[in-house]
Amino acid sequence: MSNIRSIDMMFLDDVFEMGGGYVLNFSDRTFAQFFAEELNIDIDDPIYARNGGSKAKRLRCFLQTVDKATVARTLNALWVYREALRQRSEQADKIPNAHGRLLSLLNRLEGRPENSQAPSQDPVPAFDRQKLAQIKSNLLAMTSLEAHARGYAFEKFLCDLFDTYGLAAQEPFRLKGEQIDGSFQFGNETYLVEAKWHGKPIGVAELHTFHGKIEQKAAWTRGLFVSNSGFTEDGLAAFGRGKRVTCMDGYDLYETLNREIPLNHVLERKVRRAAETGSPFVRVRDLFPH
């Protein structure tokens, strides 16, 4: 079975500007140099010129020929190069949700779960726009509900969101007033979840209480605090750095869905940034700038 479906290739053609045989701003020399330096690959090997010798035709053939792990490495490297070009020219991205769509494609290539369905022999869609649109609609609709109904709706929203990205809860999310508790497995670590939909941003007291729960568990346990109304700046500052808690707010949830960024990539970026800076809360729009 081919690594890249026709619809994927159409997307990649647009992202990497492969019209007319070109790829981004590469010349033949810099194209070969990029593959040699970044990937240790000879893109000029005749095996990749079976369908023609242009840079675009060689890249398409290459992506259809090599293993999926190499395809993923290549697309990642090309994306980094593309973004460096775009930021240097200060141009807005003309392709809607380009990064989120690329990350969803990488999910499939790397064999990560995309949805809650059992594996099959058929290709898994890179992303299910209809399902994501429904989940986003459910998030927006919650603002008009009464507190009790909103709590149950938030519980279902979180279940759907985690299941969609293969992060099925270890324990079902449980509603307690306007607070939802649960846990999920991500990588080799177990995450406890505390989710609240309050009118006011979360302060330091709630953060310390949740962190206290984490510290009572095994050393590899981490926490995800989801607060639709966000967190106070004073509370985050008083909470301090170097904790085992990662935070998301309502705008993070909306950005994740609206830009079609897989939740696992959001969590990976948040955890990495927390490890680098010690900060428990970095916004999705700062982790994935347009």
Q: How would residue 63 be classed by pLDDT, with cut points 50, 70 and 90?
A: very high
pLDDT tens digits for 90-131?
888 888 889 988 998 888 887 765 443 333 333 334 456 778
152 & 224 share domain: yes
Q: What is the pLDDT of residues 6-20, one digit of tens each?
A: 888 999 999 999 989
Domain end marker among 69, 95, 121: 95
Are both 139 and 283 inside the same structural domain? yes
CA distances, 169 to each of 138, 153, 257 (Å): 19, 17, 19
* Per-residue model confidence as pLDDT tens digits over 64-76: 989 888 999 999 9
- DSSP-assigned states of every residue in 155-188: HHHHHHHHHHTT--EEEEEEEETTEEEEEEEETT
Assigned domain for 64 exists: yes
pLDDT greater than 70 at residue 168: no
Determine which helix (DSSP H) or strand (DSSP E) holds 257, and give its type and residue range.
helix 250-258
Give yes or no for a contact between 196 and 226, defined as CB atoms under 8 angstroms apart.
yes
* 102 assigned to some structural domain: no
User: Residue with structure tokens 């206290």?
Assistant: 212
In terms of domains, do 138 and 270 share one?
A: yes
Per-residue pLDDT averaged across 160-187, rounded?
A: 72
pLDDT for res 126:
44
What is the mean predicted confidence (pLDDT) over 262-277? 88
User: Are both 151 and 255 inside the same structural domain?
Assistant: yes
C-beta separation of 178 from 206 below 8 A? no
40: left (phi over 0), alpha (psi -120 to 50) or beta: left
Calpha distance 21→42 (Å, rounded): 18
The predicted structure's pLDDT at residue 225 = 94
pLDDT, residue 253, reads: 93
Residues 135, 184, single domain; the answer is yes
Average pLDDT, whole number, for the chain?
84
Asked whether residue 246 carries a pLDDT value surpassing 60, the answer given is: yes
Is there a single domain that holds both residue 86 and residue 174?
no
59: pLDDT strictly greater than 70 = yes
Q: Give the domain range for residue 80.
A: 6-95
The pLDDT score that the predictor gives to residue 16 is 95
For residues 173 and 281, membership in a common domain is answered with yes
CATH number at residue 223: 3.40.1350
Q: What are phi and psi of 136, to 5 degrees?
A: -65, -40
Last residue of a domain, one of 95, 119, 145: 95
pLDDT attached to residue 125: 44
Predicted structure pTM score: 0.63
Q: Give how many domains the chain has, as a whole number.
A: 2
Both 173 and 228 in one domain: the answer is: yes
Residues 260 and 141 occupy one common structural domain: yes
Q: How confident is the model at residue 178 (pLDDT cuts 50, 70, 90)?
A: low
| Residue 260, burial from CB neighbour count under 10 angstroms (0-12, 13-18, 19+) | buried
148 and 261: one domain? yes
Residue 205 in any domain: the answer is: yes
In-domain check, residue 106: no
Q: Is residue 124 part of a domain?
A: no
Worst-scoring range by mean pLDDT, 70-84, 122-136, 208-222?
A: 122-136
Q: What is the pLDDT of residue 149?
A: 83
In a domain, 120, yes or no: no
Say yes or no: 187 and 61 in one domain.
no
In a domain, 178, yes or no: yes
The whole-number pLDDT of residue 232 equals 94
Q: Which of 41, 69, 95 is the last residue of a domain?
A: 95
The pLDDT of residue 166 is 74
Same domain for 69 and 159, yes or no, is no
Using alpha carbons, select from 287, 284, 224 the residue that is nearest to residue 257: 284
Assess if residue 239 is contained within a domain. yes
